[in-house]
Amino acid sequence: MSFEQNDELCRHWQGLDPPRSGKEVHEIMELVETRARRFERTIFWRNVREYVAAAIVAVVFALLASNVKTPLERVGYATVSAGALWVILFAWLMQRSRQAPLPESPGEAYKKALLAKYDRQILLTRTAWAWYVLPTTTGLVVASLGHDYAPAFGFVMAGFMLAVGVAIAILNWNAAKTLAAEKRELQRLLVGTE
């Protein structure tokens, strides 16, 4: 978004009390644009990492499921593989459902689209325990309990997998709090209050 491209936002910031100078408005718009681009890059590379990691997990656990002896282990590993495929599909669908706000959009449309993008990512991060952690953790717990030659080890591994799942959910919840703080700061910039 360049200073010239978004006259509506410029007029908004210049009309505040106290009014902003053209230089201040230009600096605010550059800051908003920089943050929006950084946010988009972060989301893009996070999704790429998730796609690659989930694809590897899906293949590895599908191979494990086809090579184990106990039915419970097979079901558990197949669940992990299916869960990884679900993560790929869900992340792709969520990414496709909300395109990046276009800097040349009218001011109000740009603000709404940018803030909605943050809202979507906050929601996805807060609910990662359900769509991301739960399917794979459940599969790993089931596979651990199905381990036929060391039942005690299976219970220990199941407990460990649950602990890892809870830790990942907590990390995502904290990441959602950080995103919410970033959104509030961006929102302050967009409405022109400091």
pLDDT band per the 50, 70, 90 thresholds, residue 132: confident
Looking at the predicted structure, is the pLDDT value of residue 81 above 90? yes
Q: Which residues contact 28 (CB under 8 A, 6 or more apart)?
A: 13, 20, 189, 192
The pLDDT score that the predictor gives to residue 47 is 85
The pLDDT score that the predictor gives to residue 15 is 52
pTM greater than the 0.85 cutoff = no
Looking at the predicted structure, is the pLDDT value of residue 194 above 50? no
The pLDDT score that the predictor gives to residue 27 is 75
Q: Which residues contact 136 (CB under 8 A, 6 or more apart)?
A: 57, 79, 80, 83, 84, 87, 165
Tell me the pLDDT tens digit for each residue of 5-59: 445 555 555 455 455 556 666 677 777 788 888 888 888 888 898 899 999 999 9
Taken in order 35, 41, 44, 48, the sign of the CA dihedral is negative
CA dist list (Å): 5 to 11, 54, 184:
12, 40, 24
Euclidean distance between CA atoms 59 and 88, whole angstroms = 13
- Distance from CA of residue 17 to its chain's centroid? 37
pLDDT band per the 50, 70, 90 thresholds, residue 193: very low
